[in-house]
Amino acid sequence: MEYFIELFFSGLTRGSIYALIALGYTMVYGVIGLINFAHGEIYMIGAFTALIIANVLSVWGWPAAATFLCAGVGAVIYASAYGYTVEKIAYKPLRNAPRLSPLISAIGMSIFLQNYVLLAQTSDFMPFPALIPDFAFMEPVAHIIGSSDLVIILTTFIVMILLTLLIKFTRIGKAMRATAQDKKMALLVGVDVNQVISATFVIGSTLAAIGGLLIASHIGQINFYIGFLAGIKAFTAAVLGGIGSIPGALLGGLILGWTESFATGYVSSDYEDVFAFALLVLILIFRPYGILGRKETKKV
Amino acid sequence: MKQCKKLVESVFFCCMCCIILQGCGGGDNQKNTTIRIGVAGSHSGDLASYGLPTLKAAELVAMKVNAQGGVLGKQVEIIPADDVCKPEIATNTATKLISQNVDIVLGHICSGATKAALGIYKSAKLIAISPSATNPDLTQSGDYPNFFRTIASDDLQARQEVDFAIKVLHLKKIAVVHDKGDYGKGLAEFAKGFVEKTPGVELVLYEGVTPGAVDYSAIVQKIKRSGAEAVIYGGYHPEASKIVTQMRKTRMETVFISDDGVKDDTFIKVAGPYAEGVYATGPMDTSKNPLTKEATDACREKYGENPGAFFLNAYAASLAIVNAIEKAGTTEYDQLSKALRTEYVETPLGKISFDARGDAIGVGFSMYQVKDGKYVEVN
């Protein structure tokens, strides 16, 4: 039984990591119907920014909590700026182009950003400081779940709830929903569509940067390629839960995390990905729009 | 148009003639006035960086020997031959070297190309010494008595890891984990075989992990459940550091033993305090050997750059060749291979000779352990 609980929690951690990145994917998709493949790279840039800030601050001898906060804020601002710019450069000019064009543009952006960081930084793995300290109250259960796991799980849940509230109850949320339903109509009733889309990208990038900070300090190492691998799994999670649905991203992430964790624990980690993607195929056969996804109505 | 075709035909014909004549010319030259060492390997293409340092090492040794009057009163001549690390080209390379009447071959570089060429050298009674082909079969199959190498074979590392866990640390339950890659899985398979063959020792887990995954806690819990006293990991440092970190964070004290993919300072940098106590095998430290310094200095002076991959292995192989020819007093196959097996020679890798199978005695791996943020050799 204890083994089951251990696997349950390791799946929960893994799933929360996927979900945290998947939230950004699914949000952008929900508003403008674009799969933003550069999202993983924004996550990576967030992690790199946090690393640089944390290293500088630790040289100055700042306390861990302040370093964590500053690195987080810096990463969010810098990554948001990237998200905003990427949208303006790579997606906005293609807004009325066929759907395939922005997709290719997104892949191009992803490759560009990867190589940019590769050249500007290094191809080596860089150590990332453990910004989340080991909490004393976690010591009795440290063999099952670590402090950084706990922080990631809580953050994912909080972010998901905040995001749902933002979309349901705020003015910008309403504008986002309007844009998602019909861009032209939203424009006609006075919604600044460009601004809404920019805001969506900024929020998405913020989530990616928070994810980058937390996940990098959990794993303890980063390089220019982490965004791609994490992005693929997060994208899978988003599709599994129903792309465009915010609770779906969390559900998809957790299901993926648990599948991998239990497959490793009870079968073999050689087949971890096999099980994960077999599950994806199965779910998509029976629910083509994901678990919580809605069927898209064709706009005429 | 027709004229053009004729021109092409005649040029082609001329070329054919030239090739045939050249071939004949090579055959005629029965008696060499020099000692000819063929250096075969990848001298161009994407793997050139593996082959060129060997060529440099051979040239440097030849220069040094010639300056001292040569071997057996003859000057040493280097005959380079490019195989681009491709087995199908290596057979041509081998044939070409034989037609150029070389006395011995230094090469090839890649295991696949070496294997392809060895059969041809064997029928021509020619010895080949590779500085870099690590495939265990090359010496262990017994098919190639004409083959020698100055690098340890892949399985030696696995052997050392297993022996260390069982004989030095006296552990009975071992888990073998790998990264599903060619290198990692290859090593892990050897380790698995060695563990299974040792009576009284149990292989409790054999599994591959997905490289680049965000979290390895599931496999770590599985290792814990298996009751393993030691984990032998085959793979590179990014995954190793994640697994070790996760193990220590879940308060596991299991011994972690790995390979030269992990014996890298980045591993210590990334895993930080969690790296302490981790064991890893790596090439023996030769930096204090005066011959190493001499060889690398000569390389910098002559070529203006640092020696590359397998340079020291190639330098050692060249010295072994010269020494064997000197001691044997001839370049004749039987006496030369006997000299290689019996005569020790001082090289940058230490004092080496070759065993019956052709592996270098005295070339191998050491076990290192992380102590205070540094890899320290364990004896």
CATH code, residues A2-286: 1.10.3470
Give this prediction's pTM. Answer: 0.78
Q: CA A162 to CA A55: how far, in whole Å?
A: 30
Residue recorded with tokens 């590359």:
B308
**Please, which residues have CB within 8 angstroms of residue B141's CB and are 6 or more apart in sequence?**
none
Domain housing B138: 12-23+34-151+288-361
Task: Tell me the residues of B at the A interface, defined by beta carbons under 8 Å apart.
Answer: 180, 207-210, 212-215, 217-222, 224-225, 237-238, 241-242, 245, 249-252, 266, 269-272
Write the pLDDT tens digit of every residue in B128-155.
Answer: 999 988 888 888 888 999 999 998 888 8
Binned at pLDDT 50, 70 and 90, residue B13 comes out as low
Q: Which of residues 151-180 of A touch B (CB under 8 A)?
A: none
Spell out which residues of chain B touch residue A146, defining contact as CB-CB under 8 Å.
249-250
A219 within 8 A of B214, measured Cβ to Cβ: yes
How far A224 CA lies from chain B's nearest CA (Å)? 12
Residue B140 covered by a domain: yes
* CA nearest to A124 within chain B: B266
Q: CA A21 to CA A237: how far, in whole Å?
A: 9
Least confident of A74-78, A137-141, B225-229, B289-293: A137-141
Write the pLDDT tens digit of every residue in B110-129.
Answer: 888 999 999 999 999 999 99
Is B28 a residue whose pLDDT tops 50?
no
B121 within 8 A of B100, measured Cβ to Cβ: no
Residue B329 covered by a domain: yes
How far A229 CA lies from chain B's nearest CA (Å)? 7
| 8 Å CB contact of B250 and A146 | yes
Residue B3 covered by a domain: no
Residue B2 covered by a domain: no
Binned at pLDDT 50, 70 and 90, residue B25 comes out as very low
Question: How big is the A-B interface in CB pairs under 8 Å?
Answer: 92
Question: What mean pLDDT value characterizes chain B?
Answer: 87
Write the pLDDT tens digit of every residue in A196-229.
Answer: 999 999 999 999 999 999 999 888 889 898 998 8
Residues B16 and B128 both lie in one domain: yes
Work out how many domains chain B is built from and give that number. 2
β-sheet bridge partners, residue B234: B178
Residues B166 and B133 both lie in one domain: no
Residues B137 and B19 both lie in one domain: yes
Is B206 a residue whose pLDDT tops 90?
yes
Spell out which residues of chain A touch residue B249, defining contact as CB-CB under 8 Å.
142, 146
Is B93 a residue whose pLDDT tops 90?
yes
Residue B313 covered by a domain: yes
Residues B130 and B189 both lie in one domain: no
Helix (H, G, I), strand (E, B) or coil at A229: helix
Spell out which residues of chain A touch residue B214, defining contact as CB-CB under 8 Å.
14, 17-18, 215, 219, 229-230, 233
Residues B259 and B192 both lie in one domain: yes
Q: CA B31 to CA A95: how far, in whole Å?
A: 78
Average pLDDT over residues B178-196: 90
Closest by alpha carbon to A88, among A70, A75, A105, A71?
A105
Is A122 a residue whose pLDDT tops 90?
no
Binned at pLDDT 50, 70 and 90, residue B6 comes out as low
Residues B50 and B198 both lie in one domain: no
Average pLDDT over residues A101-107: 92
Residues B162 and B258 both lie in one domain: yes
Tokens of A220: 């303890």
Least confident of A213-227, B12-26, B153-167, B336-350: B12-26
In the prediction, which pLDDT does B2 show?
52
Residues B197 and B321 both lie in one domain: no
Residues B246 and B295 both lie in one domain: no
Query: To the nearest whole percent, how much of chain A has pLDDT over 90?
Result: 59
Tokens of B372: 């205070």
CA separation, residue B284 to residues B40, B117, B151, B260, B362 (Å): 26, 29, 11, 11, 10
| 8 Å CB contact of A215 and B214 | yes
B208, B214, B241: residue with CB nearest A270: B208
In the prediction, which pLDDT does A125 show?
85
CATH number at residue B171: 3.40.50.2300
Average pLDDT over residues A24-53: 91
Residues B97 and B162 both lie in one domain: no
* CA nearest to A266 within chain B: B222
Residue B5 covered by a domain: no
Average pLDDT over residues A263-288: 90
In the prediction, which pLDDT does B21 show?
47
Q: Residue B347 carries which side chain, given as an amino acid letter?
A: T
Binned at pLDDT 50, 70 and 90, residue A53 comes out as very high
Residues B50 and B141 both lie in one domain: yes
Residues B80 and B118 both lie in one domain: yes
Question: What mean pLDDT value characterizes chain A?
Answer: 90
Write the pLDDT tens digit of every residue in B34-51.
Answer: 999 999 999 988 788 888
| 8 Å CB contact of A219 and B215 | yes
Average pLDDT over residues A244-264: 93
Residue B228 covered by a domain: yes
In the prediction, which pLDDT does A136 show?
84
A10, A142, A143: residue with CB nearest B218: A10
Residue B209 covered by a domain: yes
